[in-house]
Structure 1
Amino acid sequence: MKILALDASTEALSAALFDSDRPAQAQEIFEIAPRAHAARLLPAVQSLLTDNALSLADIDGIGFARGPGAFTGLRIAAGLVQGLAGGANLPVVAISTLAALAARAFDRAPEARRVQVVQDARMGEIYTATFTRETMPTPDTDERVIVPADLVLEPVQSTLRAGNGWPLVFAARDLAATPVAADLPHAIDVARLAWPVLAAGQGAPAAAALPVYVRDDVARKPAGIS
């Protein structure tokens, strides 16, 4: 099964090509490209397909990071997935950006059982959820947006930390920084999480490729400003 995957939920963007018959040979284009997602995500997809002599007709499904994350990036990725999947009649799988980060952290620490993900949500807030390896990609806690001072810290002795929002937590709590297992999501992890869903025939139609913002009010003032 060949899976195309996209992520544009942070300042990074990535596209990945995953073949379940050759999982170790998965390929990814990843770059830090703030405000360039609209211009660079589709060429990354085209490059992957061209380099492997493939077309969309050879792809079995598309996974994408549906959020939470940057509003513009999420809309760009969802719109591109809708266009690609709709034109080729491909099923899609929406993967949580936080789950993709948890998957990367677990991959880097095979002995770890839990990971607490904290992503910078801007406006003085963070997105967060906690995951257990055995129940991935379903979080133990609902994905939510909170101020850093309100985060209930998991014990660092038993829980990995992932995401680019931890510096905000450390600063708000006046805590010494601790290592973060992964800071940015990658499309390759989205593809790997989408694989069992597509293999089970549970992909959704292209029109279901929608972003999940968690924070719905884009225009409200930052936390702490009245």
Structure 2
Amino acid sequence: MNLLALDTSTEQMSIAVQRRGVGAPWQHTAPGGARSSTHLIPDIQRLMAQAQLQFGELDAIVFGAGPGSFTGLRTACSVAQGLAFGAGVPVLPVDTLLAVAEEARFQSGEADPCAVTALLDARMDEMYAASYLFESGLWKQHEGYSLIKPENLGWDGSGMLAGNVFAAYGARLPDGPGLRLLALPTATAMLRLAPKLLAAGGAVRADQALPTYLRDKVAQTTLERAAAKAAV
């Protein structure tokens, strides 16, 4: 399939382009955050040119829908929508925690079945979390999304913990024999997920694409910041 995938839900901006009949995708990673709003579209255009693809030739535009950074999710969604509107192609929103699980499975080379608890730093002393099982070539989410303190993670120690939380919260996570793996929701992971998600009817019109927010409040008040600092 001809696919463009992009993610700006974390501190990393990730873009990948897949062209039908070509094995390896074109990919680009760079610092995300505020940089994404100015660099994302030019970097996409450069990668599409390298793949010698026009936007109208794409089967879908894939983006990391969340959970993740509030601003990052809005950036990715709006860019995916704008490009899809202009090209007349559908949009495929992808669960960023599922993309973390897929990246961890790919990195580790774990055989089927593979259990992954995916964790992304939500800031404000919390994490986004969800658990998945890869079995018979398919991913299944067996616990819903949660926004939790690190010590409140319900993990039985089996399978993998994967994500970007270990530097900040590693000492506060439950102990267990399972592997801890640094993994982000990369665009290449989304490309691997896309064919089955598209076959399952996951694509939507550009105007129907929406980010997944788990937190309405995205900043602490001055008093809350002071209280958190005093508690350290």
In the other structure, the counterpart of 1:128 is 129
Secondary structure of the 2:102 match is helix
In the other structure, the counterpart of 2:204 is 204
Structure 1 residue 176, shift from structure 2 partner: 9.9
Mean Cα deviation higher: 11-20 or 119-128? 11-20
For 2:75 and 2:92, the matched residues in 1 are separated by: 16
* Deviations 1:11-45 (CA, angstroms, capped at 9, x unpaired): 100111123533x3112111123320101111121
Question: Which letter does structure 2 place at the counterpart of 1:125?
Answer: E
Question: Which letter does structure 2 place at the counterpart of 1:4?
Answer: L
Mean Cα deviation higher: 132-141 or 11-20? 132-141
Give the RMSD, CA atoms, in angstroms.
2.6
Q: Determine whether 1:82 maps to 2:81.
A: yes
Q: Determine whether 1:153 maps to 2:155.
A: yes
Structure 1 residue 92, shift from structure 2 partner: 1.0
Secondary structure of the 1:110 match is coil
Structure 1 residue 154, shift from structure 2 partner: 3.1
Mean Cα deviation higher: 183-192 or 68-77? 183-192
Across the two proteins, how many residue pairs are aligned to each other?
Answer: 223
In the other structure, the counterpart of 2:51 is 52
In the other structure, the counterpart of 1:27 is 26
Q: Determine whether 1:217 maps to 2:212.
A: no
Structure 1 residue 202, shift from structure 2 partner: 4.5
For 2:140 and 2:193, the matched residues in 1 are separated by: 11
For 1:141 and 1:174, the matched residues in 2 are separated by: 17
For 2:202 and 2:123, the matched residues in 1 are separated by: 33
For 1:181 and 1:21, the matched residues in 2 are separated by: 32
Secondary structure of the 1:50 match is helix
Mean Cα deviation higher: 162-171 or 204-213? 162-171
In the other structure, the counterpart of 2:12 is 12
| Contact 1:99 1:136 (C-alpha < 8 Å) held by counterparts | no
Question: Which letter does structure 2 place at the counterpart of 1:128?
Answer: A
Aligned runs of 1:49-128 on 2, under 5 Å?
49-108=48-107, 109-111=109-111, 113-128=114-129
Question: Which letter does structure 2 place at the counterpart of 1:94?
Answer: P
Structure 1 residue 166, shift from structure 2 partner: 3.0
The structure richer in strand per residue is 2
For 1:105 and 1:61, the matched residues in 2 are separated by: 24
Unaligned runs of 5+ in 2: none
**TM-score w.r.t. structure 2 length?**
0.86
Unaligned runs of 5+ in 1: none
Mean Cα deviation higher: 51-60 or 176-185? 176-185
**TM-score w.r.t. structure 1 length?**
0.88
Query: How has the CA–CA distance of structure 1 residues 38 and 208 changed in structure 2, closer, same or farther, with 3 Å as cutoff?
Result: same
Secondary structure of the 1:93 match is strand
For 1:200 and 1:125, the matched residues in 2 are separated by: 32
Percent identity between the two aligned chains: 34
| Contact 1:104 1:182 (C-alpha < 8 Å) held by counterparts | no
Question: Which letter does structure 1 place at the counterpart of 2:58?
Answer: I
Question: Which letter does structure 2 place at the counterpart of 1:120?
Answer: D
State the structure with bigger RCO (CA 8 A, min sep 6), 1 or 2: 1
Mean Cα deviation higher: 78-87 or 137-146? 137-146
